[in-house]
Structure 1
Amino acid sequence: MHKLGIAITGSGSAVPETSLANEALTELVETSDEWITTRTGIRQRRVASPTESLSLLAAKAGRQAIAQAGITPEDVDLILLATSTPDDLFGSACQIQAELGATKAVAFDLTAACSGFVFGLVTAAQYIRTGVYQNVLLIGADILSRWVDWQDRRTCVLFGDGAGAVILQANESDRLLGFTLKSDGSQNHYLNLAYQAAAKELIPGVNISQGKYHPITMNGKEVYRFAVQKVPEVIDKTLFQANLTIDQIDWLVLHQANQRILDAVAQRLNIPNDKVISNLANYGNTSAASIPIALDEAVRQGKIKPNDTIAVSGFGAGLTWGAAIFQWGR
């Protein structure tokens, strides 16, 4: 008989070597450490060097999660890579599979921007609950420095690079207590990494488009408004589904976009600040990687302990947002 519950049994994370402090950004754009810190809470971020690939960062995080879960790469049935910045537009999950030696695993990419980890968590859970796979490696990884306009002071101060991972395993008891996922494409234009095409005539009467991706553009005010309204709503909905109250949550791990958003969401939910995990001061917004990096750090610092109840919520481009509540460990 297949075990159809889910446990999250291991975590890992990896960030590039190079750190870029706020002071260094003043050489690129007109800004100041004080301006960035007071508005975002970010003090520094990591940026990948030309030799650091997304696949290698993701594999490093994956290796740690596999080790912590006490399994081997050969035990992994599925590798899900949540990313918006693959090394290869056809997908990078298979490169990670090869890098890890996870010969049995099927691997594919999933794109939901900053909500990618939460969307990936729920996707992985479906494979386990249907009895198809027992061990799933979920990685959230992004190298946004490749796609930032380093002359745009509204966006270049926000983003950083990194990878985080968890192992989900089939388990007797189900530790994933609830989830809610949402999308609203009518607000898509507020946050984009868009393809911009130039028309090209192949032969007379046959036109195609060829072009490239343009850097990230964002309407910060609208994205802030969206997050502060929708995230508490979606967490409330998930609490109701899980039959829990907010005071039964031990830790709130939000997508690490902006300290002001974290504070506003905590305030609306009436959750004390000491239950809110925040590490964006050191890493900035790492998109799909932000929740698993924060989770892994808190686990390794001994903050998050087995059986702790954790609420996670991601939000971002799409626009997409979602929440999940789970208990840590078996």
Structure 2
Amino acid sequence: MTSDAGYSRFEALGAYLPPTIQSTPELVATVVNVPDVPLERITGVRERRVYDPRPEAGEDSYGLALKAARNALTNSRYDGADLDVVISVSITRFKDGDDFYFEPSFAGLLAKELGARRAIHFDLSNACAGMMSGVYLLDRMIRAGMVRTGLVVSGEQCTRVAQTAAREMADSYDAQFASLSVGDSAVAVVLDRSVDEADRIHYVDLTTSSEFSHLCLGMPSDRSEGIALYTDNKKMHKEDRLRLWPSFHGDQLAKQSRTFADEAFDYVIQHQVGTRFVEFMNATGAKEFGTDTPESLTGCEVFGNTATTSHFLVLHKHLTEGTARQGAKFLMVPAASGIVVGALSATITNLGV
């Protein structure tokens, strides 16, 4: 947490979901070697959005990100030319079909397309904590007076790993099982300077515990063409792993002579691995903090695990549907490969969605 005089806020939020919906039974029917895998019972995911592979659909990673960025700017009082920074944080970096891009940077391409020609632009990769990490950096840049406003964006074509898992899984304990829980989406958020305590990012704190870095790895498949995700679900859900967040967050609050109860959060958004994971995280937090956790907002039931976009996709869903209110205090808790944990605290009052 910082003691700087300046603060940032969430000014606008945009999202894009491919219109194609795939139900869990439809996905399970494509799993070659494991018939009737109990995916929905284990993960709580009923359906997910799936990209359209046709080039004209513009639903590769880059195209998804561009659609979300345009939506965010539609909801913003700024346009592309006003942006000082553009940060792209996608894990999946597909453009022009099956081409996986490292250069030119997505941020540079997006900035040009959005008319942000004077903006600083760079890509950032930090697994599923990408959006949180991008916000962390942009928040610090605004607080330091280096920039006035910026955009953090991600487009995730995640279901490619589900397609690989469906071909390759040997049983329900296969390391690719978690790949079946993913979905495709994009989000983008605009930040600017906060001038009101009721509309402010209070802090973003992140840490990495490398002891667990081997538990979730994305890479080219070792059995066939395509990208794959290998996750040790049993160890990922052990209590010592789940305790990383409340232990770190509690320590950070103690430095300010504060407790979790003092924060008076209205809502918490956990990383959307699945409904059981969210329940485990909230229960662990309540136990460690010695107080009830706030109302938990989810979206994995209908979106699946959308990687970097999950927290802001859930925020967008609940604000637009009226199941979360403007003027409330939100806690976002990352849980990313690395292992990255932490907390983002923000009061959101005038967010354009």
Shorter-normalised TM-score: what interval? 0.7 to 0.9
Amino acid at match of 1:327: T
What is the distance in 2 between the residues matched to 1:135 and 1:244? 31
Moved more, 14-23 or 66-75: 66-75
Checking the alignment, whether the CA contact within 8 Å between 2:90 and 2:125 is kept in structure 1 is yes
Which residue of the partner structure matches residue 91 of structure 2?
A: 84
SS of alignment partner, residue 321 of structure 1: strand
Which residue of the partner structure matches residue 223 of structure 1?
A: 236
What is the distance in 1 between the residues matched to 2:83 and 2:144? 16
What is the distance in 2 between the residues matched to 1:236 and 1:99? 42
Amino acid at match of 1:314: P
Matched, 1:245 2:252: no
Superposed displacement of residue 67, structure 1: 2.6
Superposed displacement of residue 168, structure 1: 0.8
SS of alignment partner, residue 193 of structure 1: strand
Query: In the alignment, which of 39, 43, 47 is matched to residue 50 of structure 2?
Result: 47
SS of alignment partner, residue 114 of structure 1: coil
Runs of at least 5 residues in structure 2 that lack an aligned partner in the other structure:
95-100
Which residue of the partner structure matches residue 97 of structure 1?
A: 111
Matched, 1:300 2:302: no
Superposed displacement of residue 274, structure 1: 7.4
Superposed displacement of residue 227, structure 1: 5.0
Superposed displacement of residue 299, structure 1: 1.7
- Superposed counterparts of 1:167-186, under 5 Å: 167-173=190-196, 175-186=200-211
Amino acid at match of 1:9: E
SS of alignment partner, residue 134 of structure 1: coil
Superposed displacement of residue 131, structure 1: 0.7
Which residue of the partner structure matches residue 255 of structure 1?
A: 271
Q: Go from structure 1 to structure 2 and tell me whether the alpha carbon gap of 1:94 and 1:66 turns closer, same or farther (over 3 Å shift).
A: same
Amino acid at match of 2:343: A
Checking the alignment, whether the CA contact within 8 Å between 1:25 and 1:31 is kept in structure 2 is no
Amino acid at match of 1:68: N
Superposed displacement of residue 146, structure 1: 2.6
Which residue of the partner structure matches residue 349 of structure 2?
A: 329
Q: Go from structure 1 to structure 2 and tell me whether the alpha carbon gap of 1:307 and 1:255 turns closer, same or farther (over 3 Å shift).
A: same
Superposed displacement of residue 269, structure 1: 2.9
What is the distance in 2 between the residues matched to 1:179 and 1:256? 19
SS of alignment partner, residue 165 of structure 1: strand
Matched, 1:9 2:34: no
Matched, 1:285 2:305: yes
Q: Go from structure 1 to structure 2 and tell me whether the alpha carbon gap of 1:158 and 1:93 turns closer, same or farther (over 3 Å shift).
A: same
Superposed displacement of residue 238, structure 1: 5.0
Q: Go from structure 1 to structure 2 and tell me whether the alpha carbon gap of 1:288 and 1:92 turns closer, same or farther (over 3 Å shift).
A: same
What is the distance in 2 between the residues matched to 1:124 and 1:213? 33
Which residue of the partner structure matches residue 137 of structure 2?
A: 123
Which residue of the partner structure matches residue 201 of structure 1?
A: none
Which whole-Å deviations, capped at 9, do the CAs of 1:24-70 have from their partners, x for residues lacking one? Answer: 1232222547x222211101111212231212211221222223232
Amino acid at match of 2:179: C
TM-score (structure 1 length as normaliser): 0.86
Superposed displacement of residue 245, structure 1: 3.4
Which residue of the partner structure matches residue 212 of structure 2?
A: 187
What is the distance in 1 between the residues matched to 2:255 and 2:265? 14
Runs of at least 5 residues in structure 1 that lack an aligned partner in the other structure:
198-211
Query: In the alignment, which of 247, 250, 264 is matched to residue 236 of structure 1?
Result: 250
SS of alignment partner, residue 338 of structure 2: coil
What is the distance in 1 between the residues matched to 2:215 and 2:76? 39
Checking the alignment, whether the CA contact within 8 Å between 1:5 and 1:173 is kept in structure 2 is no
Which residue of the partner structure matches residue 121 of structure 2?
A: 107
Which residue of the partner structure matches residue 97 of structure 2?
A: none
Amino acid at match of 2:111: Q
Counting aligned pairs with the same residue, the percent is 21
What is the distance in 1 between the residues matched to 2:141 and 2:125? 18
What is the distance in 1 between the residues matched to 2:252 and 2:20? 38
SS of alignment partner, residue 129 of structure 2: helix
Amino acid at match of 1:74: A
Which whole-Å deviations, capped at 9, do the CAs of 1:284-321 have from their partners, x for residues lacking one? Answer: 11100111111111221233333311100111212222
- Superposed counterparts of 1:31-42, under 5 Å: 31-32=35-36, 35-42=38-45
Checking the alignment, whether the CA contact within 8 Å between 1:141 and 1:162 is kept in structure 2 is yes
TM-score (structure 2 length as normaliser): 0.81
Query: In the alignment, which of 124, 143, 160 is matched to residue 183 of structure 2?
Result: 160
Checking the alignment, whether the CA contact within 8 Å between 2:16 and 2:64 is kept in structure 1 is yes
What is the distance in 2 between the residues matched to 1:114 and 1:231? 15
What is the distance in 2 between the residues matched to 1:289 and 1:166? 10
Query: Which one has a larger percent strand, Structure 1 or Structure 2?
Result: 1
Checking the alignment, whether the CA contact within 8 Å between 1:9 and 1:329 is kept in structure 2 is no
Superposed displacement of residue 194, structure 1: 2.9
What is the distance in 2 between the residues matched to 1:182 and 1:251? 22
Q: Go from structure 1 to structure 2 and tell me whether the alpha carbon gap of 1:227 and 1:187 turns closer, same or farther (over 3 Å shift).
A: closer
RMSD of Structure 2 on Structure 1 (CA): 2.6
- Superposed counterparts of 1:315-326, under 5 Å: 315-326=335-346
Superposed displacement of residue 272, structure 1: 6.0
What is the distance in 2 between the residues matched to 1:166 and 1:229? 29
